[in-house]
């Protein structure tokens, strides 16, 4: 096994695709389930490597976590006795820091390493640490071993906390930690991603008392959580956008089942500007190539903006659009790992450093005095450029899927090395693509 996908490109992809459950809801719903009394059943959980790693980690800590049907998992944290997550598992699962919530509430102490540097940026957890401290948790970082030791001295006490800059998983973590805190917790300047609201719905139907009013989330502490009804997580909007780009980039047409337009509105708006064919029905969206594509200018941003996760696929599409397109990444400081790979296929892409009035405010990552050191946060793509085949290396999940899109456009056989990175977040991508007419094989 070489951990690669072999693709023979140049085929317009056509047909229907059924979306899987959202990775970025599933991971958090599984961790939240550890805080329930009794076992929890979650439906529409994607069978992806990130979820498998998470289930393994729960088993390692002593809990129950298993698929009982094709996309249904059962989670039970009752027997978790270990309060420490080892370095290897923490590095495999980026959301491992969220275990501070179930471990602290159940055991009063949690020892978790810094998830550390990843391929899309530094991704520190300073905002979550500040939140823990605000709720009365004692947190110490040991620079020698890289572990945070968090301890409840008196118990969690609700209070007011404002994120200086919002954080998607930081907001979800704050909600989890505040659920059993004494009194009321207000999380201000919270993120707006719809995945967070799915988690809130799940928790509220299980006994939590959480209200959102725009960027303010108010949590009244409760004593316990119990599953009271079926819970099926929403479909993956990132997967929806990925298949939309497959349709447009290969000159095909794909109907995406199980997504409403509001979930990907900012993508639809930009795709329309580029000249994409789009037919919206109640729970289906058809994307089709309309004869030609034009250049666009994108600035990524938190919800309701154009998602950072969509810019890599979009960059591949813009190699096929007439004119000069730009993409300015504001959320992560290192999300262009795919550029060097696209250059190998003949794409014309240049980095540039855009002028930004208040960079400390504009960029979502911590900037401080590092602005001078900040590299190019933007690219210029000149199209339309025919892509040829090549051997490509995956940097991160979304970059990886973009290379599959590029290989699907290119004539001839391409190899995308790093299939397991793509399989972390996409359920059976090869089978779904084959059903649309693609020639792709895991090798
Ligand atoms: N940040 C900090 N300190 C913190 C928290 C965040 O500096 O304590 C920085 C991050 O490094 C980043 C920015 O703030 O530069 C925004 O990060 P945020 O916390 O909002 O992102 P995240 O929660 O780490 C989630 C998704 C990402 C998705 C972003 C944006 C999960 C597991 N991950 O990341 O998804 O791109 O929100 O919506 O939900 C992916 O699926 O491939 C992926 C990376």
5-14, 43-52, 252-261, 373-382: which range is least confident on average?
Answer: 373-382
Query: What's the confidence (pLDDT) of residue 93?
Result: 86
CB of 309 sitting under 6 A from ligand 1: yes
Q: Between the CA atoms of 180, 42, 54 and 38, what dihedral angle is there, to the nearest 10 degrees?
A: 50
pTM flag (> 0.85):
yes
DSSP for 208-271, written as a single string: -EEEEETTEEEEE--S-----S--BPPB-HHHHHHHHHHHHHTT-EEEEES--GGGGHHHHHHH
CB of 29 sitting under 6 A from ligand 1: no
pLDDT tens readout for residues 244-266: 999 999 999 999 999 999 999 99
397 CA from centroid of ligand 1 (Å): 13
Q: Give backbone dihedrals phi and psi of 176, rounded to 5 degrees, phi first.
A: -60, -45
pLDDT tens readout for residues 160-206: 999 999 999 999 999 999 999 999 999 999 999 999 999 999 999 99
CB of 28 sitting under 6 A from ligand 1: no
Burial of 205 (0-12, 13-18, 19+ CB in 10 A): middle
Extended strands (E) in 118-183: 137-142, 147-152, 160-162
Closest atom of ligand 1 to CA, residue 27 = 32
Query: What's the confidence (pLDDT) of residue 367?
Result: 85
167 CA from centroid of ligand 1 (Å): 6
Residue 118 has pLDDT above 70, yes or no: no
Percentage above 70 pLDDT, the chain: 97
Query: Is residue 118 flagged as an active site residue?
Result: yes
* Spatial distance between the Cα atoms of 297 and 328, rounded to a whole number of angstroms: 8
129 CA from centroid of ligand 1 (Å): 15
pLDDT tens readout for residues 77-93: 999 999 999 888 888 88
Query: What's the confidence (pLDDT) of residue 122?
Result: 64
Question: Among 21, 31, 49, 123, which residue has the most ligand 1 atoms within 8 Å of its CB, making it the best to mutate?
Answer: 123
Cα 214 to Cα 194, 217, 221, 224, distances in angstroms: 12, 8, 20, 26
364 CA from centroid of ligand 1 (Å): 9
CB of 300 sitting under 6 A from ligand 1: no
pLDDT tens readout for residues 201-247: 999 999 999 999 999 999 999 999 999 999 999 999 999 999 999 99
Q: Which of 15, 117, 118, 292 is catalytic?
A: 118
Closest atom of ligand 1 to CA, residue 307 = 38
CB of 190 sitting under 6 A from ligand 1: no
Closest atom of ligand 1 to CA, residue 193 = 38
What are the strands of the beta sheet with 277-280, ordered from one edge?
A: 14-18, 253-257, 284-288, 277-280
Dihedral sign, Cα of residue 3, residue 121, residue 297, residue 258? positive
Count other Cβ atoms within 10 Å, centred on residue 91: 15
Query: What's the confidence (pLDDT) of residue 28?
Result: 98
Closest atom of ligand 1 to CA, residue 333 = 15
What residues are paired with 111 via a beta bridge? 84, 149
Confidence of residue 117 (pLDDT cuts 50, 70, 90): very low
pLDDT tens readout for residues 407-422: 999 999 999 999 999 9
* Spatial distance between the Cα atoms of 264 and 276, rounded to a whole number of angstroms: 14
Closest atom of ligand 1 to CA, residue 120 = 44
By three-state DSSP, how is residue 1 classified? Answer: coil
Closest atom of ligand 1 to CA, residue 95 = 32
Question: Among 23, 169, 176, which residue has the most ligand 1 atoms within 8 Å of its CB, making it the best to mutate?
Answer: 169
C-alpha atoms less than 13 angstroms from C-alpha of 371 in its C-beta half-sphere: 14
CB of 393 sitting under 6 A from ligand 1: no
Show the DSSP H helices in 376-439 as ranges. 397-409, 419-423, 429-435
288 CA from centroid of ligand 1 (Å): 31
Question: Among 24, 98, 338, 370, which residue has the most ligand 1 atoms within 8 Å of its CB, making it the best to mutate?
Answer: 24
Residue 120 has pLDDT above 90, yes or no: no
pLDDT tens readout for residues 286-337: 999 999 999 999 999 999 999 999 999 999 999 999 999 999 999 998 899 9
Pairing of strands 147-152, 109-113: antiparallel
Q: What 8-state DSSP symbol labels residue 22?
A: P
CB of 168 sitting under 6 A from ligand 1: yes
* Spatial distance between the Cα atoms of 425 and 177, rounded to a whole number of angstroms: 26
């Amino acid at each position: 096994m070489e951990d690669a996908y072999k693709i023979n490109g140049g085929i317009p992809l056509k047909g229907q695709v059924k979306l899987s459950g959202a990775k970025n809801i599933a991971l958090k719903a599984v961790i939240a389930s550890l805080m329930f009394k009794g076992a929890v059943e979650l439906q529409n959980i994607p069978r992806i490597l990130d979820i498998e790693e998470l289930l393994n980690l729960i088993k390692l800590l002593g809990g129950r976590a298993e698929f009982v049907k094709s996309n249904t998992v059962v989670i039970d944290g009752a027997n978790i006795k270990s309060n420490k997550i080892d370095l290897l598992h923490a590095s495999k699962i980026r959301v491992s820091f969220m275990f501070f919530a179930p471990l602290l509430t159940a055991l009063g102490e949690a020892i978790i390493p810094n998830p550390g540097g990843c391929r899309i940026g530094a991704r520190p957890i300073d905002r979550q640490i500040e939140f823990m401290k605000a709720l009365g948790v004692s947190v110490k970082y040991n620079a020698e071993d890289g572990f945070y030791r968090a301890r409840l001295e008196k118990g969690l006490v609700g209070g007011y906390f404002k994120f200086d800059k919002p954080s998607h998983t930081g907001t979800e973590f704050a909600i989890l930690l505040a659920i059993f805190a004494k009194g009321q917790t207000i999380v201000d300047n919270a993120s707006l991603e719809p995945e967070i609201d799915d988690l809130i719905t799940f928790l509220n139907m299980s006994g939590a008392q959480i209200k959102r009013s725009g960027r303010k989330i108010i949590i009244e502490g409760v004593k316990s959580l119990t599953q009271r009804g079926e819970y099926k997580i929403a479909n993956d909007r990132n997967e929806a956008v990925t298949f939309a780009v497959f349709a447009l980039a290969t000159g095909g047409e794909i109907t995406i089942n199980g997504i409403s337009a509001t979930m990907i509105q900012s993508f639809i708006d930009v795709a329309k500007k580029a000249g994409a064919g789009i037919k919206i029905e109640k729970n289906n969206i058809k994307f089709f190539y309309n004869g030609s594509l034009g250049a666009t200018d994108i600035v990524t941003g938190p919800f309701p903006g154009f998602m950072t996760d969509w810019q890599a696929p979009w960059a591949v599409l813009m190699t096929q659009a007439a004119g000069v397109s730009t993409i300015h990444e504001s959320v992560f400081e290192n999300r262009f790992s795919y550029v060097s790979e696209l250059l190998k296929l003949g794409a014309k892409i240049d980095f540039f450093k855009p002028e930004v009035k208040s960079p400390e405010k504009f960029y979502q990552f911590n900037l401080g005095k590092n602005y001078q050191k900040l590299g190019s946060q933007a690219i210029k793509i000149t199209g339309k450029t025919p892509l040829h085949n090549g051997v490509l290396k995956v940097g991160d999940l979304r970059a990886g899927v973009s290379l599959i899109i590029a290989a699907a456009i290119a004539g001839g056989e391409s190899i995308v090395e790093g299939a397991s990175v793509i399989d972390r977040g996409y359920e059976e991508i090869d089978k779904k693509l084959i059903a649309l007419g693609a020639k792709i094989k895991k090798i």
